[in-house]
Amino acid sequence: MKKPNIVLVMADQLAPQFTGAYGHPLVKTPHMDALAARGAKFDAAYCSAPLCAPSRFSFMSGQLVTRIAAYDNASEFPASVPTFAHHLRRAGYRTCLSGKMHFVGPDQLHGFEERLTTDIYPSDHAWTPDWELPDERIDKWYHNMDSVREAGVAATTFQIEYDEETAFFARRRIFEYAMQKVEPFCMVVSFIHPHDPYVARPEWWDLYDHDAIDMPGSPEAEDPHSKRLMKGIEADVVAVSDEEVRNARHAYYANTSYFDSKVGAVVQALEESGQLDDTIVIVTADHGDMLGERGLWYKMTFFEHSGRVPMIVAGPGVARRDIAEPCSLVDLLPTFLDVAGVGQQEFGAPIDGRSLWPLANGSAEDDASGGEAIGEYCAECASHPVFMIRRGRFKYIHCDVDPPQLFDLEADPHELVNLADDPEHAQIAAAFATEVAQRWDSDRIRENVIATQRQRRAVHAAMEAGQLTSWDYQPKRDASQEFVRNHMDWTEAAEKTRFPPQKGEEPA
């Protein structure tokens, strides 16, 4: 049986609540809508960590953050950790990455045979937090309220330039795969939008009536972790006006539509190259964005707008259905292997996810009371690990230095009522507390987080002295072999790069 291609399109910091595909009345996402209309839409998908690099390392490895020490945005992703790219490569897939993955360390491929672009963020240990000084801000790279106060319109930004390049090289490679008859292939196309700064080009900004932009609808969070986040991003001392909040949300919506256009561009390339019918397309994100809800911005919390992600799957064998059963990004590795028909291949490492393919293809019943998503946060604006369990209708959040939180997301989707001390939910809260104690050794994890932070700060200080040795990925290009050169016949070059080929001609 022919193995389908796999193309995953990833956004950065995209909350599903702010997409038309997931029911927002204003935000325009026609290409995500179209995929959802012919595929499976997971309505309770979560990231494994509400921060870029940890979430991505976990997603690629199918392992939870604490298992692979992927604690923060400066944690090294070891080359010895198997990823879905490694597994699919062993199964005969061509593996390719275009765009962001925030790999930290000298290995900048992690199973991908090729990367078409460099990364957008640094690949060293510069962004290491310090849990021994948890109240100390690192101004150079911590989020602050400037992204909200300076939101608006611009002709270009470094993020726009990056995403234009990411889409261009991905589309070109898709057509080259068709010309060269490469099959099967797995491509990840990973964009930075709608991640802050909240700055959009005019054509995307103008899609929306500024006065119609909805404002945050939930009261300011009062729990200790939220207060730490407010301090960390300076929301406790820097006031923002309603107009600045509206500008930020307006730009975010605009950039969500911009990201959606890139989804459409990738799908169009697959269709025009004759490969769409043989390709599973997945759209997701590394985490969400609070966007002013609960008085919070950006991510770093397990509230729904930060912790949930879109997950839409379409393609051959996928059933049209909305799926309420909780799941997470760690489930994608075993799902991909199921799609590829790999079977019981030796993983080489423990896998924390489960295959979602039976849910996606309709062979398994959707059980909203079953399934689970596990989350871990061990990065800035914290001093101790934060754990999350989403199972059925309930979400439980634990941190050793904070009161526990228990939410009934069916009855209270905006997480306004903490049921952890509610007598009617005492048994449920106690069961979750027992599970947390059995699942995690919080003291040991904290000790390891601090130990790795010390190591990384020492390495970074040394690397900043003397001659710079950069880990940042250098895309391979040989201009002497591109387009038309003297050692080529231009008519042959034109023939080889034309798709579809003229009748009776096939590219060599």
Q: Is 102 designated active site?
A: yes
Question: What is the DSSP secondary-structure string of 269-289?
Answer: HHHHTT-GGGEEEEEEES---
Q: Is 305 designated active site?
A: no
Query: Residue 393: how many CB atoms within 10 A of its CB?
Result: 16
| Contacting residues for 132 by C-beta, under 8 A, at least 6 apart | 450, 453
Alpha-helical regions (H) of 206-241: 224-232
| 326-330-166 Cα angle (round to 5) | 110
| Maximum alpha-carbon separation in the chain | 81
Torsion of CA 230, 232, 238, 241, to 10 degrees: -50
Query: Residue 445: how many CB atoms within 10 A of its CB?
Result: 20
- Tokens describing residue 424: 């009617």
Whether the CB-CB separation of 321 and 362 falls below 8 Å is answered with yes
CA dist 305 and 315 (Å) reads 27
Query: Residue 220: how many CB atoms within 10 A of its CB?
Result: 13
| Contacting residues for 429 by C-beta, under 8 A, at least 6 apart | 396, 404, 406, 419, 420, 421, 422
Q: What is the CA radius of gyration of the chain?
A: 23
Backbone angles phi, psi at 331, to 5 degrees: -75, -10
Catalytic residue, from 47, 52, 186, 399: name it: 52
Q: Shortest CA distance to 18 belongs to which of 261, 245, 293? A: 293
Alpha-helical regions (H) of 233-339: 242-272, 304-307, 332-339
Catalytic residue, from 86, 102, 250, 287: name it: 102
Whether the CB-CB separation of 484 and 490 falls below 8 Å is answered with yes
- Tokens describing residue 352: 């924390």
- Alpha-carbon 152 to chain mean position: 24
- Tokens describing residue 14: 């995209």
Report the first-to-last Cα separation within the chain, whole angstroms.
26
CA dist 248 and 153 (Å) reads 10
- Residues annotated as catalytic (active site), given as ranges: 52, 102
